[in-house]
Amino acid sequence: MDFGLSEEQLLLQQTIDRFLEAECPSTRLHEIFDGDEAVDGSLWRGMIELGLGGLTIPEPYGGAGLGLIDLALASETLGRRAAPGPFLGHALAGVAIALGGNEEQRERWLPSLATGRCLATVALAEAGGRWDPARWQARVQGGRVTGGKAWVPCAHAADLLVVGVEGGGLALVERTAAGVEIAAVDGVDRTRRLDDVTLENAPCDVLERSRDVGGRVRDAGLCLVAADAFGGATRCIEMAVDHANTREQFGVTIGHFQAIKHRLATMSVEVEPSRALFWYAAHAWDAVPEDRQRAASLAKAHITDRFMQTARDAVEIHGGMGFTWEGDMQIWLKRAMFDRMFLGSPAAHRERVARVSGW
Amino acid sequence: MDLGFSEEHEAFREEVRRFLADGWPLKGEEANLKRRAQAALFRKRAIERGYLARAIPKAYGGSERPSDPLRATIIASEFARVHAPRDPGAPISQLIATLASHGTEQQKKKFLPPTITGEMVWCQGYSEPGAGSDLASLRTKAELVGDEWVINGQKIWTTAAGVAHMIYLLCRTDPDAPKHKGMSYLLVDLNQPGIEVRPLKEMNGDAHFNEVFFDDARTPADYIVGRPGEGWIVSRSTLAHERNAVGASVAVRVQFERLVELARTSERNGRPAIEDPIIRDRLAELDGYVTSHEYSGYRQLTMDVRGEKRGAIGMMNKLVSTEIGHRVAKLAFDLAGEAGLRAPLGDRKPKGDPDWMTQYMMSLGLSIAGGTSDIQRNIIGERGLGLPRDFVAQKGAR
């Protein structure tokens, strides 16, 4: 029985947090948020140097060979700092190829994903809210794939797309290949840009080593998004507490008022216990296969709901400045909106929980 | 991360199970004893084996075992599984902790052994009509007259006062001292002419609470725990125990599974309620809270094992479990349908019947007892998040 973090895991989080505190303070975060580039080159290179390109990639392929729990802990810290960039898609692509790739595919892609020489992403959803692998329709025929993929993170900056295909499988498509068209989406969360991808007879390479690879990668994604949301929510509470401890009205800091104090306590009580939920979901993905699906959907539904409400509450506690573009709160609120809808709504995941629980 | 128990601990679990298989429920002649006598007999045996009263020295009737949160967890869950008597819960556990850390040699020898086994039944005299959340404003007073304390005043919300032998009491012994410094902690025999106990009927029809009136009630001068004026310090450590004791996440999971069962057996629009999309959504939403709390429990257990401080999460358990209780109660009420027009059964409920109408009301009681939810929010805000203390509380503390 040891349900807690190791020294190494704490160090990983601390290292990422310090890096982002130094390299992506509020001013820089706003510049990137307002800028045209989906991927800030120097920030992403810094993350790659920290090893974030290959945390779960097996050691023989140049990664750290860690578990999904470690990737989720990294995701938590990135969420905490609202880190902009392509981490989510890149990390999931690494999980997908490690899980479903044959020796040749792993050899070819994993080392360059770990070093960041190749930027990858995942194209899972299709229009009409089809996040569920069972509902993917992109069709593979004779080594070519045809279909439309929606809400793809950082597709136009990526070199490699891991595409969800009919039957819940995954296929690799190079972004520059013939028949790949990418159109930017005007997304709400400008720290994680999205694109629509149209594939018309694009050459592809199917990942065939593992059955249900699409489902497992989607579940890994649910854990990472849940972790991101947890990190974001805890940061919202910290920022709101800081504000309550500095902002003065009626001659005292507003944290003196029970209206504010109880609201903050409630936010904290809603969020803090769910740390154990995303830990468990990621741990289950690694080690408790029979509970993987339920835990992943439960964590995603529960924690992204909490993040949404916490971000809204934090905006209100910040008062007028919380509502401005120049304030920080808008960025976290939009991260919450992204986390809540990306990979499927909380309601959809609660229905999945009901189904896999046998209700 | 590892959610399993080591071989050593699994072997310990087996040992506990074997003990329970023979030991509870009692068999033969022993099964005819009164309930309290059965529990006391069983507890004595469990203490001999080192399963109960582990923190109490052998000299005072305990089993004196080294602190081991994992063994303690295994014992608690195995005992709970077969409904075997465990260490007395709040508020008696607070008295035990107080006596063990602040009692005189004589007090510990006299009171701890029968209190641990449950032979000596206690109730807690803290709250008063005018002193609830602001406990330190209590007014029941005790004066030392010769070699006795003479006590006058009133206590309220006193659980089990109708069956208890003794009451432990916070009362004012120095009316001129600042309010936190003028209190003492007394042990008083309930069976005397100066004490009257009146039951208080609760909203569900039961009467677990009482009012206790003191009219020149008496107790020996040396039945004080700590020195005169130290009552608040002594009582504070025990209150912290009470806040933890209610937050058992395992019980929350059991309650949730019962709710799922209720959803399976109730109907909604002519079909099992569990097939209704709204019910499924509400159950799954609740499961998010329940599962968080469940694994949060393992997280805190790990912190205990590692000797780490729990921090803010340790202050949240009571509020988290009572908030879940509210949600369970509301969903159960909706699932009950027309049965929601019936009066709760309370003490008349058959064994094994969850009686959701009683639970619907009990969820409110739990959020008030042992520190109301709004007081919990103050504690979390001030001690957990570092927000400033209340103006009024600051004034009172000075």
Domains along chain B? 7-87 (no CATH), 122-232 (2.40.110.10), 246-397 (1.20.140.10)
- Separation in Å, CA B8 to CA A1, A71, B14, B58, B70: 12, 32, 10, 25, 11
Tens-place pLDDT, residues A105-160: 999 999 999 999 999 999 999 999 999 999 999 999 999 999 999 999 999 999 99
Residue carrying the six token digits 């969360």: A189
Contacts of A109 (CB under 8 A, 6+ apart): A97, A101, A118, A120, A160, A172
Beta bridge partners of A199: A147, A180
- Select the highest-mean-pLDDT range: A183-187, B86-90, B358-362: A183-187
Mean pLDDT taken over chain B: 90
Q: Using a CB-CB distance cutoff of 8 angstroms, which residues of chain A are in contact with residue B303?
A: 4
Q: Determine the average pLDDT of the residues in A190-214.
A: 94
Closest CA to B111 of B86, B126, B92, B125: B92
Considering CB atoms only, which of A3, A275, A359 is closest to B3?
A3
Phi first, then psi: what are they for A160, rounded to 5°? -135, 135
Looking from the CA of B296 toward its CB, the CA atoms found within 13 Å total: 29
Cα A244 to Cα A185, A237, A265, A306, A328: the distances in Å are 36, 10, 12, 20, 15
Q: How confident is the model at residue B67 (pLDDT cuts 50, 70, 90)?
A: confident
Q: Which residues of A touch B306 (CB under 8 A)?
A: 4
Least CB-CB distance to B1: which of A2, A277, A299?
Answer: A2
- How far apart are the C-alpha atoms of A260 and A253, rounded to whole Å? 10
Q: How far is B202 from chain A (nearest CA, A)?
A: 28
Tokens found for residue B51 = 């399963």
Omega of the bond prior to B25 within 30 degrees of 0, cis? yes
Summary count for chain B: helices (H), strands (E)? 12, 10
Q: What is the pLDDT of residue B244?
A: 37
Confidence of residue B240 (pLDDT cuts 50, 70, 90): very low
How long a stretch of residues is chain B?
A: 398
Residue B395: which pLDDT band, with cuts at 50, 70 and 90? low
H helices, E strands: number in chain A: 12, 10
What integer pLDDT is reported at residue B242 of this predicted model? 34
> CB distance from B378 to chain A under 8 Å?
yes
Q: Which residues of B157-169 are buried (b: 16+ CB within 10 A; e: fewer)?
A: bbbbbbebebbbb
- Residues on chain A touching B376 (C-beta within 8 angstroms): 265
Rg of chain A, C-alpha, whole Å: 20
Hey, are the CB atoms on B298 and A1 less than 8 Å from each other?
yes
Residue type, B39: A
Q: What is the DSSP letter of A272?
A: G
pLDDT at A57 over 80: yes
% residues pLDDT > 90 (chain B): 68
Quick check: A4 and B306 CB within 8 A? yes
Q: Are A261 and B387 in contact (CB < 8 Å)? A: yes
pLDDT the model gives residue B238: 45
Give the torsion sign (CA, B252, B257, B262, B267).
positive
In degrees rounded to 5, what are phi and psi of residue B345? -80, -25
Element (H, E) at A148: strand A144-153
How confident is the model at residue B378, as a pLDDT? Answer: 95
Go through A339-351 and write b for each residue having 16 or more CB atoms within 10 A of its CB, e for each that does not: bbbbbbbbebbbb
pLDDT one-digit tens code per residue, B171-181: 999 999 999 99
Q: Which residues of A touch B308 (CB under 8 A)?
A: 4
From A265, A283, A347, residue closest to B381, measured CB to CB: A265
Residue B3 has what DSSP assignment?
A: -
pLDDT of residue A64: 98
Per-residue pLDDT of B307-317, as tens digits, reads: 898 899 999 99
Exposed/middle/buried for residue A34 (C-beta within 10 Å: 0-12, 13-18, 19+): exposed
How far is Cα A220 from Cα A96, in angstroms, rounded to an integer? 9
Grade residue A18 by pLDDT with cuts at 50, 70 and 90. Answer: very high
Chain A nearest CA to B196, separation (Å)? 39
Question: What is the radius of gyration, based on Cα positions, of chain B?
Answer: 23
User: What's at A129, amino acid-wise?
Assistant: G
Query: Would you list the DSSP string of A120-135?
Result: EEEE--BTTTB-SGGG
What domains are defined for chain A?
7-114 (1.10.540.10), 120-207 (2.40.110.10), 213-356 (1.20.140.10)
B366 burial level (CB within 10 Å; 0-12, 13-18, 19+): middle
- Shortest Cα–Cα distance, A311 to chain B (Å): 17
Mean pLDDT of A23-49: 96
Q: Which of B287, B301, B381 sits opposite A264 (nearest CB)?
A: B381
DSSP β-ladder status, B122-125 and B166-172:
parallel
- Asked if residues A171 and A140 have their Cβ atoms less than 8 Å apart, the reply is yes
pLDDT digits (tens, 9 = 90+) for A318-339: 999 999 999 999 999 999 999 9
- The pLDDT of residue B386 is 96
Confidence of residue B250 (pLDDT cuts 50, 70, 90): confident
CA–CA separation, B345 and B200 (whole Å): 17
Question: With the CA atoms of A298, A300, A306 and A311 taken in that order, what torsion angle do they form, in degrees rounded to the nearest 10?
Answer: 180
Nearest residue in B to A243, CA atom: B387
Average pLDDT (A51-59) is 98
pLDDT tens sequence across A262-275: 999 999 999 999 99
Q: How many CA atoms lie within 13 A of A313 on its CB side?
A: 28
Q: Tell me if residue B267 is catalytic.
A: no
Amino acid B237: pLDDT: 57
pLDDT at B245: 33
Q: B277-306 and A346-356 helices cross at what angle (nearest 10)?
A: 80
Is the pLDDT at B396 greater than 70? The verdict is: no
- The predicted structure's pLDDT at residue B398: 41
CB of B48 within 8 Å of a chain A CB? The answer is no
B394: confidence class by pLDDT, cuts 50, 70, 90: low
- Residue A95's φ and ψ, nearest 5 degrees, are -60, -45
What is the arithmetic mean of pLDDT over A209-229?
Answer: 94
Q: Which of B196, B230, B242, B338 is catalytic?
A: B242
In chain B, beta strands by DSSP E: 122-125, 141-145, 148-155, 166-172, 183-189, 195-200, 209-220, 224-225, 267-268, 271-272
Residues in chain A: 359
Nearest to A48 by CA among A90, A108, A109: A90
Could you tell me which of B59, B58, B22, B14 has the C-alpha nearest to residue B42? Answer: B22
Chain-chain contact of A359 with B280 (C-beta, under 8 angstroms): yes
d(CA B215, CA B194): 5
- By the CB < 8 Å criterion, does B277 face chain A? yes
Q: Name the DSSP letter for residue B389.
A: P
Other CB atoms within a 10 A radius of the CB of residue B12 amount to 18
